[in-house]
Chain A
């Protein structure tokens, strides 16, 4: 099958064009020579199936960034039959350098000048025929977003595929020796084929930036937008989550449970409470992920995310992160899973890993449920808000501490020089494709892992089948006893240890598991907890719950996004260790002070 590769600088509309070409049928896949996954899709062109590959955006073919290395290795090991070089027509002046570098490799190239709509608005005129003649390459002006000029370009692409691949220079020429030549060539092309008005019209972007990046108002506006985003996702997301849970419950009660009654009890339990619940756990994330990325598409495509980086950089640079990481951290307070997936906008792997290490400390809505229940049971109504607030402080504190401790281990080596693109509004199609794509990605990568985890915890809390589920006679009870020397110094009882094992799956089920463990629910459970625990123990338990691994879905996402099991394990053990240490300090400190 013939291969077409898309190459361009970041933000030139490569993904948009790629989505238009593949109709959203893209899949991620692995390629020889590189470790990251690339998006590719198969389409019918001129009667043949061809594969189109979206390469990461690069500034320079000889560059040092992670993405630039990926593209180099890809081209080296998978010479494409045709390369589509995508340039932003409004920035053609500087983007031409990449095209000239690629041209030197003697590849089969078609040049696409994207964003013709913006170029027109800015009064930039490009003589494509002239430029094509000077370069000896086919050149087309088009807009990937709205489709103008697309058909002609596709026609030319189909034709260009008929030629044999001329083959590439043995080695990608290593250094920048040709740069001088490239500069001269660029100047010549600009002079003859492009006209840029000397001063751009005072446009919308400039006026919006005056407000959005205002020295005093910028940050308050940023936080207001974050707040709205956050509220928006959960306002729409929670009813959907509840709906899905209800649907699953209905299917369980009225269809599955009755049909499975003939089976032996342990098998029933395994199928229904193990596997089926696992599927339900995965499904509960679907609405949140879709919504998150619908909104993220707006924030990101509009260009606001780079503005957030601008506003927050002074603070974030000290933590070894950037402002985009801060946005993801904030979003993590809703749900860690999409926040982790969202870190993909950061192109430096080291910075991305550091951000992924920090995000799980965000006090997500599932953990909040646990804390609300326990504070209501053990603290006075006056103290409860303070207790909750202090947990948020611990959440931020753990995140900052982690960033500071590990910023040298995950040292960002990429220069922090970002483009601030003009404000653009994504089309509904773009937003929807993004949400859809991310959800399928999550489902494909995380489902098995999550179901396996849920089943494992079910087995731990039910074997031997003769014992009362989740009691001290089950495997989990034995683990609880066995871990007792470790948990006694932080005031956590064996019963609570079993609940923590459940909490490994999802924090939503912690209270439910306590209900099973104590055989009580609601106020009665609260009363029993208040009777058995004092506030120091309860707070220590909450602290541990806050800091240790948020849930299986988070772990599955850490694994699939980092593609590095060692990193996933590191994150788990670091958070467990930190949770234990903080709880120990708190518990022993409080006891020492006489509480």
Chain B
């Protein structure tokens, strides 16, 4: 299975979080928002002009920038 990051998902795709490679502050925020290893994550949409991504974990919708999304490794089913 190739290593994907959240930033490389297509709209509507769901994947599983494998690992998060972020600095401490970001890592903690992501944890609190529900980004945990093994969780399902869905890419809902991307903003125009290389803007942020909207993702869904469980019942929470979250926006984050692409640079940050690239720090989250996911595996597609």
Total chain A interface residues with beta-carbon distance under 8 A? 45
**A515: min CB distance to chain B, Å:** 48
- Kindly state the separation between the CA atoms of A310 and B65 in the bound complex, as whole angstroms: 9
Of A122, A205, A414, A420, the residue contacting B25 (CB under 8 A) is: A414
Chain A 388-420 interface mask (CB, 8 Å, partner B; 1/0): 000000000000000000000000011111111
The segment from A59-67, A245-253, A486-494, A577-585 that touches chain B is A59-67
Is B60 in contact with A63, judged by CB distance below 8 angstroms? Answer: no
Residue of B nearest to A200 (CB): B59
Of B34, B54, B68, the residue contacting A415 (CB under 8 A) is: B68
Residues from chain B with Cβ under 8 Å of A314 in the complex:
47-52
**A228: min CB distance to chain B, Å:** 22
**A211: min CB distance to chain B, Å:** 12
Q: Check: A94 CB closer than 8 A to any chain B CB.
A: yes
User: Which 8 A-B pairs give the minimum distances between C-beta atoms?
Assistant: A59-B32, A314-B51, A94-B34, A314-B49, A415-B26, A420-B61, A64-B25, A417-B64
| Interface size range of chain B in the complex | 20 to 34
The interface centre, meaning the residue of B28, B32, B54, B65 with most chain A CB atoms within 10 A of its CB, is B32
Q: Check: B62 CB closer than 8 A to any chain A CB.
A: yes
- Kindly state the separation between the CA atoms of A416 and B57 in the bound complex, as whole angstroms: 17
Is A309 in contact with B63, judged by CB distance below 8 angstroms? Answer: yes
Residues from chain B with Cβ under 8 Å of A124 in the complex:
59
Residues of chain A touching chain B, judged by Cβ–Cβ distance below 8 Å, are 9, 59-60, 62-65, 90-91, 93-94, 97-98, 122, 124, 176, 179, 183, 196, 200, 205, 209, 213, 215-216, 218-219, 306, 309-311, 313-315, 317, 413-422
Residues from chain A with Cβ under 8 Å of B32 in the complex:
9, 59-60, 63, 94, 97-98
**B42: min CB distance to chain A, Å:** 10
5 of the cross-chain contacts (CB-CB < 8 Å) are A59-B29, A313-B47, A415-B68, A420-B62, A421-B61
**A357: min CB distance to chain B, Å:** 23
**B39: min CB distance to chain A, Å:** 9
Is B29 in contact with A91, judged by CB distance below 8 angstroms? Answer: no
Is B31 in contact with A60, judged by CB distance below 8 angstroms? Answer: yes
The interface centre, meaning the residue of B22, B45, B57 with most chain A CB atoms within 10 A of its CB, is B45
Is A97 in contact with B28, judged by CB distance below 8 angstroms? Answer: no
- Kindly state the separation between the CA atoms of A179 and B50 in the bound complex, as whole angstroms: 34
**A210: min CB distance to chain B, Å:** 9
Chain B 15-51 interface mask (CB, 8 Å, partner A; 1/0): 0000000101110111111101000000011011111
**A113: min CB distance to chain B, Å:** 13
Given contacts A65-B25, A97-B31, contact A122 B59 (CB under 8 A): yes
Given contacts A59-B28, A60-B28, contact A313 B65 (CB under 8 A): yes
Is A94 in contact with B62, judged by CB distance below 8 angstroms? Answer: no
- Kindly state the separation between the CA atoms of A413 and B23 in the bound complex, as whole angstroms: 11
Residues from chain A with Cβ under 8 Å of B28 in the complex:
59-60, 62-64, 176
